[in-house]
Structure 1
Amino acid sequence: MDAEYRVGGDPEADVDDGSEVERRSAGVEADGHGERLDRWLTRLAPEFSRNHLQSLIERGCVRLDGQPVGKAAHKLRAGQQVEVELQPTDESRAFRAESMALDIVHEDEHLLVVNKPAGLVVHPAPGNWSGTLMNGLLAHHPAAAGLPRAGIVHRLDKDTSGLMVVGKTLEAVTALTRQIAAREVHREYLALAWGRVETEFTVDQAMRRDPLSRVKMAIAPANLGKPARTDVYPLGVGEVKGRPVSAVHCVLHTGRTHQIRVHLMHSGHPLVADALYGGVPALGLERQALHAARLGFEHPVLSTALRFTSPLPADLAAAWSQVGAEVLPD
């Protein structure tokens, strides 16, 4: 296959990251007659996956004899001329700066603490390759591009709000990561859960990925999962249409994915509006009723004790007031 390569600055090209579009074109030879368009394109652009090439076809980035073709299964004929605009993959666009408003509660030359809103994804992943906290951090602090995960050392679920610490230097990232591994970072959460919680309790149950659903976590035997411990303290009990709802204060001793959500579900108290773990909606909430309210750790460079508190966001505060519980003990 003799291909012609051109890099152009077509102002009408559908590119949103400012990069130039590479165009490649080639004629269909006899051995390509009757072949699917998407399969044939893997020879013209072997560095791209077939899925990405299919998406380019669907977006009108591939032309046959000058005319757009929108079907990956289109059968080619010998002698046809194919031209493709090779736009970047979604994954390659993920690690770029995107200006966004960040609620920064503390910042110095070594780290920052951000109050993440519900609905904001922390790190790019399939389905969320842009508009993440990491994209915002790259815009706020360009040097983050040289750090592992842009300095992110722990995460909150998309629909969990609250406090996160982010390193701004490799020294800080390394030290914070070690503190988290040593369970020296103190994290406390506020939550609304179904059922009546009137005495404090501890859930000490190992966790692993749910073998039946890759989007969920599950309780596991100690020899198959990772250790996970959550202390739960009652703050008050209210009712929603005759069903008890409890306000609780959760203290993490480990930081497994979905830990509080899984541990409370396992205890018979799924979070309000946590659809993934059986918590039906109530109190006007459209996301799981979970907020990272307190964060404490030793400054990774200065060795001073840092403590931060985040008030309940508006949606949780409104729901909390209906339960009639205190927010946090002193």
Structure 2
Amino acid sequence: MNKEPDVIYSSHEFKVLNKSRGWHSVGSGRTNEPSVEDWLKTADPEVAENLPESGIVHRLDFLTSGCLMIARSLDTYHLLRDAFSGVQVRKRYWALVEAQAELPSRGHFDLCFQSRYKRSKKISVSRFGPNEQRGQCSWRQIGGLLKVGPKNARLLEVELIGPGRRHQIRAGFAFFDAPIIGDPLYGLPLQSKREALNQQDEKLEFFGLHASRLDLPATLLGSPQDLCFLASAPEDWPAFSTPD
């Protein structure tokens, strides 16, 4: 899915994009895969060329689609970076997880996330560890079971609390035996996992994690009211409805 990002909102201070699956947030220079950073240098060159990472203030995984916020001035860039590293910005996701696990319909986790070894694609998860490696999420189930290919899935609304750790939602739910549908690192049988780890690139097939919503308080940017940005789910997701 190499569809260019959709612009959800744009002002002189910032933009909010709906990033597609299969796009890096920031270019690495090591692959030919598209990145939002490089796209912004063409779509908004006068701004992007003068800001770190083209103004991107937080990141989404290569496979994760959804809301990505872009600053359009240096002052706004630093302000939003600080806000995303704390609890001022509410970050919510839709997650389609495998349904066989005994996962409560509502819950919260506070786990430790750390790299397994240098250049490892996967993250190790444990219940205990230093505060600088800890990550929190809360979730609630929306509706009943959904069918994604041959698998039964549950749709969760997940709130990522605080700055976020690498693969926090992906590795966190896999820790509870409820991996994201289509996850090539955390959601396949052991043999397929080993094959995926040996591959240079992650697959572009269906992936059930989408950054659906960002909420910013009015006081953050001096807005007349609180700001809410919604990103529609990818076209290949099953149909579902969410409560108001």
Percent of aligned pairs with the same residue? 25
**Residue in 2 that maps onto 1:154:** 58
Partner residue of 1:270 out of 172, 179, 198: 179
Q: Which moved more, 1:192-201 or 1:249-258?
A: 192-201
Partner residue of 2:222 out of 302, 309, 324: 302
Q: Residue by residue, what CA displacement relative to the aligned partner does 1:212-262 show, whole Å, maximum 9, x if unpaired? A: 761112214322851201112112224679864211111110321211101
Q: Which has the higher contact order (CA 8 A, sep 6+)?
A: 2
**Residue in 2 that maps onto 1:214:** 120
1:191 offset after TM fit, Å?
A: 1.5
After superposition, the CA RMSD in angstroms is 2.6
Bigger Rg, structure 1 or 2: 1
The answer as to whether partners of 1:208 and 1:225 remain within 8 angstroms in 2 is: no
Q: Residue by residue, what CA displacement relative to the aligned partner does 1:280-306 show, whole Å, maximum 9, x if unpaired? A: 79xxx9132111111111465434421
**Residue in 2 that maps onto 1:72:** none
**Residue in 2 that maps onto 1:250:** 158
Partner residue of 1:195 out of 95, 99, 114: 99
Deviation >3 Å, runs of 4+? 238-244, 298-301
Residues 54-73 of structure 1: matches in 2 within 5 Å? none
Structure 1: distance between partners of 2:115 and 2:96: 24
The answer as to whether partners of 2:67 and 2:212 remain within 8 angstroms in 1 is: yes
Partner residue of 2:210 out of 291, 295, 301: 291
> Match of 2:124, as an amino acid?
A
Q: Secondary structure at the match of 2:9?
A: strand
The answer to whether the aligner puts 1:260 opposite 2:181 as a matched pair is: no
Structure 2: distance between partners of 1:222 and 1:308: 34
With normalisation by structure 1, the TM-score equals: 0.61
The answer to whether the aligner puts 1:233 opposite 2:130 as a matched pair is: no
Q: Residue by residue, what CA displacement relative to the aligned partner does 1:22-50 show, whole Å, maximum 9, x if unpaired? A: xxxxxxxxxxxxxxxxxxxxxxxxxxxxx
> Match of 1:328, as an amino acid?
T
The answer as to whether partners of 2:23 and 2:33 remain within 8 angstroms in 1 is: no
Partner residue of 1:327 out of 223, 241, 244: 241
The answer as to whether partners of 2:24 and 2:33 remain within 8 angstroms in 1 is: no
**Residue in 2 that maps onto 1:57:** none
Q: Secondary structure at the match of 2:133?
A: coil
Q: Which moved more, 1:208-217 or 1:144-153?
A: 208-217
Q: Given the superposition, is the C-alpha separation of residues 169 and 130 from structure 1 closer, same or farther in structure 2, using an over 3 Å criterion?
A: farther
Q: Residue by residue, what CA displacement relative to the aligned partner does 1:195-224 show, whole Å, maximum 9, x if unpaired? A: 254521111102111237611122143228
> Match of 1:157, as an amino acid?
D
Residues 40-59 of structure 1: matches in 2 within 5 Å? none
Q: Given the superposition, is the C-alpha separation of residues 230 and 146 from structure 1 closer, same or farther in structure 2, using an over 3 Å criterion?
A: same
> Match of 2:215, as an amino acid?
G
Structure 1: distance between partners of 2:88 and 2:116: 28
1:181 offset after TM fit, Å?
A: 1.7
> Match of 2:210, as an amino acid?
H
Q: What are structure 1's unaligned runs of at least 5 residues?
A: 1-99
1:267 offset after TM fit, Å?
A: 1.0
> Match of 1:147, as an amino acid?
L
> Match of 2:153, as an amino acid?
V
The answer to whether the aligner puts 1:182 opposite 2:96 as a matched pair is: no
Q: Given the superposition, is the C-alpha separation of residues 279 and 193 from structure 1 closer, same or farther in structure 2, using an over 3 Å criterion?
A: farther
Q: Given the superposition, is the C-alpha separation of residues 172 and 242 from structure 1 closer, same or farther in structure 2, using an over 3 Å criterion?
A: closer
Q: Residue by residue, what CA displacement relative to the aligned partner does 1:38-65 show, whole Å, maximum 9, x if unpaired? A: xxxxxxxxxxxxxxxxxxxxxxxxxxxx
The answer to whether the aligner puts 1:311 opposite 2:220 as a matched pair is: no
The answer as to whether partners of 1:208 and 1:224 remain within 8 angstroms in 2 is: no
Q: What are structure 2's unaligned runs of at least 5 residues?
A: 193-203
